[in-house]
Amino acid sequence: MNRFLKIAAIIVAGMALSSELRAQKADKGALIITPAQVKEYVDYLASDSLKGRKTPGKELDLAADYIAEKFRDFGLETVGGSYFQSIPYISQDLDVSSTSLSIDGVAFELKSDFIPFEAASDMNPEGHFNAEIVFAGYGITAPEYGYDDYAGLDVKGKIVLILKSEPRKSDTDSPFMGSKETKHAKFINKVRNAKEHGAIGLLFVTDPLNYMMLKPQGYPWPSLSKFMKRETLPFNVDTRVEGAIPAIHVGEKVIMKLFGSVDSLKAIQAGIDKSLKPNSFLIEKSRCDLRVSLITITTSARNVVGMIKGSDKRLRSEVVIIGGHYDHVGYNSQHKEGEDYIYNGADDNASGTAGVMAVAKAFAANRKAPARSLFFICFAGEEMGLVGSDYYTEHPLLPIEKSVAMLNMDMIGRNGSDTLQIEGADLNPDLRDIMLKENVDLGLKYVPTGNEMMGRSDHYNFFKLGITAVDITGGLHPDYHTVRDNPDKLDCDKASRIARLVYRTAKVMAGESRRYIIEPFK
Ligand SMILES: [Zn+2]
């Protein structure tokens, strides 16, 4: 062997050695992530005592406390002085004691005679209206069909009464797109139209020509229901309808008071349908006194956060995010004795949460942090519509433009012992390539998927902002969102292998300085 070749051989050997060493090193950190560790975290998070971790709720809070406690034990740093990011939760219920309707001195009964809709959310502070009622047909203004229930009608400061549906609802030859419904038949468009014409309130009746059942339904307010609880109201960060006017669904008794009988209203409706000409008018003796009062319920849920600062002075301001949601869908409040009623969410997503925790622990155990910083986040409210990640990306604790990647884990311990899905792989080619390379040693079986699931977990809110972001998952299975998603069915070995993959991928990304390509998502 000549000298040069020898040197080359040494160099090659050295390179081989160093890459092997690197692999070993990566493995060494990753080896802290064990099935037993994952099992310990999952067994607590998915235990019956946490009742399915619904957002918001005291069991969810217990889970958050547990995760934060572990973050502290691992030695993660707080972010903005805390391991928590609080998410405000605003919802509203009907205040039954201050909601009333009377017409011309006759009082009606809440629930059996009238029920407010939720569009009443943002009304005047007193929630008290006193005005005459104008019958405004279907409440439709449709210049494209040459039809306007408000033509020549003055409803300023008045309460309008309108019918459900649109003229000639089931007539296949109707100018209103035949028997298909136009946008004008939509309730919310009728509320908007009434408001635009100056009405201050809206009474809505199910139209007697098309429906037998005229019972008011309104919104399923928990205060009017035996079965609904306030905790089950939708999780609204704040989705109140701005400037909406109160809208009330009224039933047969109100129709009889205003029109004498259901049949006379039916005759008026039939007349409009026949002529396709509006027939709107001020109703005699219809002075209406309406009070709608809502109780605003304010509470909160929390994202759990922690970080490891990068070791490189220049790169530590950049951050690789590792996340997963820790909430699930709760439990059935109605259930038989001895029946399983808790959605434990062991796979969805105690597994991914355990993954985040295990990866955090592994990084924290390293003597030296990678160049870039690492940020760990467990989201609340994913099951209510990605609420926690939505809130985080709207109110980031670390600059979005410095967030270089987001690795999300959601459901990593079911669906075969070694299958691996990377949702958004093709939209994130750089990230995918790193991950598949790191997977070579781990030997998980990569199952390519389309982008159908791209919007289905928290990574999506980051991707939308231009951050390379994927969801790492074992995929869906028949126990998904059932009471059977229990800890004993979870493959902790698989979950720990996927967590190791995330660890290794994050380690590569946090150790380099390049930015990653993402493809447009159509
Ligand atoms: Zn999930």
As given in the structure block, the two tokens for residue 310 are 């990068």
Closest CA relative to residue 456, chosen from 436, 473, 478, 442: 473
Q: 6 falls in which pLDDT band (50, 70, 90)?
A: very low
What per-residue confidence (pLDDT) applies to 39?
Answer: 98
Helix, strand, coil shares of the chain, percent, nearest 5, are 35, 20, 40
Distance 318 CA to ligand 1 centre (A): 27
**Do residues 57 and 343 touch, judged by C-beta distance below 8 A?**
no
Give the residue-averaged pLDDT of 101-120: 91
pLDDT digits (tens, 9 = 90+) for 26-47: 567 888 999 999 999 999 999 9
Closest CA relative to residue 473, chosen from 518, 426, 407, 521: 407
Distance 344 CA to ligand 1 centre (A): 12
What per-residue confidence (pLDDT) applies to 450?
Answer: 87
Q: Is the bond leading into 56 cis (omega within 30 degrees of zero)? A: yes
Bridge partners (DSSP) listed for residue 23? none
Distance 418 CA to ligand 1 centre (A): 19
Alpha carbons 338 and 153: distance in angstroms, whole number: 62
Distance 348 CA to ligand 1 centre (A): 5
Distance 476 CA to ligand 1 centre (A): 10
429-442 helix and 3-30 helix, angle to the nearest 10 degrees: 90
Q: Which of 1-10, 64-73, 317-326, 424-433 has the lowest mean pLDDT?
A: 1-10
Distance 227 CA to ligand 1 centre (A): 26
Q: Is the pLDDT of residue 231 over 70?
A: no
For 483, how many CA atoms within 13 A lie in the half-sphere containing its CB? 10
Q: Give me the DSSP letters along 400-463.
A: GGGEEEEEEE-S-S-SSSSEEEEETGGG-HHHHHHHHHHHHHHT-EE----STTGGGSTHHHHH
Distance 60 CA to ligand 1 centre (A): 15
Alpha carbons 21 and 2: distance in angstroms, whole number: 28
Q: Is the pLDDT of residue 235 over 60?
A: no
What per-residue confidence (pLDDT) applies to 232?
Answer: 60
What per-residue confidence (pLDDT) applies to 125?
Answer: 52
Alpha carbons 381 and 55: distance in angstroms, whole number: 5
Distance 384 CA to ligand 1 centre (A): 10
Distance 353 CA to ligand 1 centre (A): 10
Give the residue-averaged pLDDT of 133-141: 97
* Averaged pLDDT of the chain: 90
Distance 306 CA to ligand 1 centre (A): 21
Q: Which residue has the tokens 């707080």?
A: 78
Q: Which residue has the tokens 């199952």?
A: 447
Distance 343 CA to ligand 1 centre (A): 12
Distance 411 CA to ligand 1 centre (A): 6
Q: Is the pLDDT of residue 381 over 60?
A: yes
Which tops the pLDDT comparison, 334 or 266?
Answer: 266
Distance 325 CA to ligand 1 centre (A): 7
Q: Chain centroid to CA 252: how far? A: 37
What is the helix (H) or strand (E) element at residue 360, kind and residue range? helix 352-365
352-365 helix and 35-45 helix, angle to the nearest 10 degrees: 130
Q: Is the pLDDT of residue 299 over 90?
A: no
Distance 489 CA to ligand 1 centre (A): 16
What per-residue confidence (pLDDT) applies to 262?
Answer: 97
What per-residue confidence (pLDDT) applies to 9?
Answer: 43
Distance 374 CA to ligand 1 centre (A): 22
What per-residue confidence (pLDDT) applies to 240?
Answer: 45
Alpha carbons 433 and 428: distance in angstroms, whole number: 9
Distance 452 CA to ligand 1 centre (A): 15
Distance 383 CA to ligand 1 centre (A): 7
Alpha carbons 70 and 73: distance in angstroms, whole number: 5
Q: Taking the model in full, what pTM does it have?
A: 0.73
Alpha carbons 451 and 449: distance in angstroms, whole number: 7
What per-residue confidence (pLDDT) applies to 245?
Answer: 81
pLDDT digits (tens, 9 = 90+) for 461-473: 999 999 999 999 9
Alpha carbons 375 and 440: distance in angstroms, whole number: 25
Q: Is the pLDDT of residue 333 over 50?
A: yes
Q: Is the pLDDT of residue 19 over 50?
A: no
What per-residue confidence (pLDDT) applies to 12?
Answer: 44
What per-residue confidence (pLDDT) applies to 349?
Answer: 97
Distance 266 CA to ligand 1 centre (A): 49
Q: Is the pLDDT of residue 170 over 90?
A: no
What per-residue confidence (pLDDT) applies to 5?
Answer: 38
Distance 190 CA to ligand 1 centre (A): 37
Q: Is the pLDDT of residue 119 over 90?
A: no
What per-residue confidence (pLDDT) applies to 10?
Answer: 44
What per-residue confidence (pLDDT) applies to 355?
Answer: 98
Distance 412 CA to ligand 1 centre (A): 10
Q: 257 falls in which pLDDT band (50, 70, 90)?
A: very high
Distance 84 CA to ligand 1 centre (A): 20
pLDDT digits (tens, 9 = 90+) for 56-92: 999 999 999 999 999 999 999 999 999 999 998 877 7
Distance 443 CA to ligand 1 centre (A): 24
Bridge partners (DSSP) listed for residue 90? 236, 298
Which tops the pLDDT comparison, 496 or 179?
Answer: 496
Give the residue-averaged pLDDT of 372-383: 97
- Spell out where 125-183 has E strands: 128-131, 133-135, 141-142, 147-148, 159-163
Alpha helix segments (H runs only) across 187-327:
187-196, 252-259, 262-275
pLDDT digits (tens, 9 = 90+) for 437-485: 999 989 999 999 988 889 999 999 999 999 999 999 999 999 999 999 9
Q: Rounded to a whole number, what is the distance in angstroms from the first to the last CA of the chain?
A: 58
